[in-house]
Amino acid sequence: MIDYRKLGVVSEKPHTVFEHEGKMVAEHVFTRDGFSDLYSILYQKRAPTHEVKVEAFESRNKGFPHEKDDGVELLKRRHLKTPKHPSGGTLLESRKTLFFNDDCTVGIARPDKQSDEFFINGDCDELYFVAEGCGVLQTIFGEIDFREGDYLFLPKAVACRFRFAHPLYLFVVEGTKEFGIPREFRLSQGQLRLDAPFTHRDFRSPSRLLNLPESENPPFVVKKLNRLSKHEYTEFPYQVIGWDGWCYPFAFSVHAYQPKTSSVHLPPTIHTVFSARGFYMMNFVPRILDYAKNAIPCPYPHSSVDCDEILFYVKGEFTSRKGIEQYSMSYHPCGIPHGPHPEKYEKSVGVRETNELAVMVDTFAPLKMTRAAVSLEDDAYHYSWNTKEHL
């Protein structure tokens, strides 16, 4: 989270008697890293502990990443055509993890049906990039209106539910630790540096409290160790009247990102947007390209020997790749070099701007592919750098 925020009513001092509408309300202290990191305090009509039923949650989605893939043994550059993954079902039904390691997972979800249940990710912080669609993200901290191009960040264990009218196309990243705003973008007091690629005003926390009708008492589906369980209460357990703190869900539009440009090519680290233990996220947004005489705007072929790299192509003409379609996902593992396709490299000379929009995940530990990823693969990709004159 980006800074201190407050919504609704809170007590004058934490951990003291606080009455609302003649009744004492309950505190719900939401902490990270034990009790040693960011926290928020929610004030609720009732403590969220009156659960009456728990059972395994049956979902036709078997896509969470303990499903290891046996068939992926070759070290190759890979191209997944994610539109081949059919849309359909609720968020949990349509969500597929495609890559994973101990620090993160990367996947997609294409829900076309709203779920009754709220989802709680008890394993990881989650980041959804909204490639397509709009709606309302309902959380226990309140509601956030979202639209195409938004990142939606959900701290671990924040209950959420998506409301939308048309199918969503979501790129989903989970991070196990320290996922959020890169430390290097902040001053020691927490304020964003003036040279950070975004400002505090770009981050949208919930704008209104969640106010479900009394008749609605949805269950909660919790993911822990990639197993799902369903939890029911006698009444909705998060009737929140206010909260404050530094830990909450937020939205950030990729269109608010302020890209840096240079006379010659800058490495992808300059496009960093989020970071976590074990990985960084970058985004490539429309921008002016390198302006030195004879500059080659395309990235140089490279061996980034400590990173696996995933790129999700959202929109526009991507500077360095051919054969890539909208919502393609490329995977370039460390161990073999990669770079722009030959024609792209040469043709980029003299190009002064790009309309590309893509999101990238660079991990420091190797990723594994799931079976779901294999089913989306374009087998020809690894050899697609070979043109007649290069063979």
CB of 117 to Fe ion, least distance (A): 39
Instruction: Return the ∠ at Cα 178 (arms to 172 and 184), rounded to 5°.
Output: 105
Nearest CA among 373, 337, 370 for reference residue 79: 373
Looking at the Cβ atoms of 18 and 331, the one nearer to Fe ion is 331
**Which positions lie near Fe ion, rule CB under 5 A?**
309
Task: Tell me the C-alpha distance between 282 and 182, whole Å.
Answer: 11
**Cβ–Cβ < 8 Å for 372, 317:** no
Kind and range of the H or E run holding 160 = strand 160-163
Determine whether 391 is exposed, middle or buried from the number of CB atoms within 10 Å of its CB (0-12, 13-18, 19+).
exposed
User: Shortest gap between Cβ of 79 and Fe ion (angstroms)?
Assistant: 14
The residue behind tokens 């800074």 is 3
Of the pair 8, 339, the CB lying nearest Fe ion is at 339
Q: Please state the closest distance from residue 298 (CB atom) to Fe ion, in A.
A: 11
- SS3 assignment, position 346: helix
Rounded CA separation 387/370 (Å): 30
Q: Which is nearer to Fe ion, 103 or 309 (CB)?
A: 309
The nearest distance, CB 284 to Fe ion, in angstroms, is 11
Q: How far is the CB of 67 from Fe ion (least distance, A)?
A: 27
Q: Which is nearer to Fe ion, 37 or 343 (CB)?
A: 343
Name the closest residue to Fe ion (Cβ): 309
Q: Which two tokens stand for residue 61?
A: 């989605």
**CA 16 – CA 25 distance, rounded (Å):** 10
Which CB atom, from 223 or from 338, has the smaller least distance to Fe ion? 338
Q: How many CA atoms lie within 13 A of 319 on its CB side?
A: 27
Contact (CB, 8 A) for 190 and 291: no
Least Å from the CB of residue 292 to Fe ion? 21
DSSP 297-317: -SPPPB--TT-EEEEEEEES-
Nearest-approach distance from CB 287 to Fe ion, in angstroms: 18
In the complex with Fe ion, which residue's Cβ is closer, 309 or 377?
309
Torsion of CA 355, 359, 365, 367, to 10 degrees: -100
In the bound complex, what is the minimum distance in angstroms from residue 309's beta carbon to Fe ion?
A: 5
* Exposure on the CB side of residue 310, measured as CA atoms within 13 A: 31
First to last CA, the chain: 50
Q: CB under 8 Å to 206, separation ≥6 — which residues?
A: 7, 139, 141, 142, 143, 144, 248, 249
Nearer to Fe ion, 143 or 309 (CB): 309
**Cβ(219)–Cβ(231) below 8 Å:** yes
Tell the smallest beta-carbon distance from residue 91 to Fe ion (Å). Answer: 30
Measured from the CB atom, the residue of 32 and 271 that comes closer to Fe ion is 271
Contact 276, 103 (CB under 8 A): yes
Whichever of 126 and 362 has its CB closer to Fe ion, that residue is 362
User: Residue 134 or residue 365: which is nearer to Fe ion going by CB?
Assistant: 365
- Nearest distance from residue 119's CB to Fe ion, in Å? 33
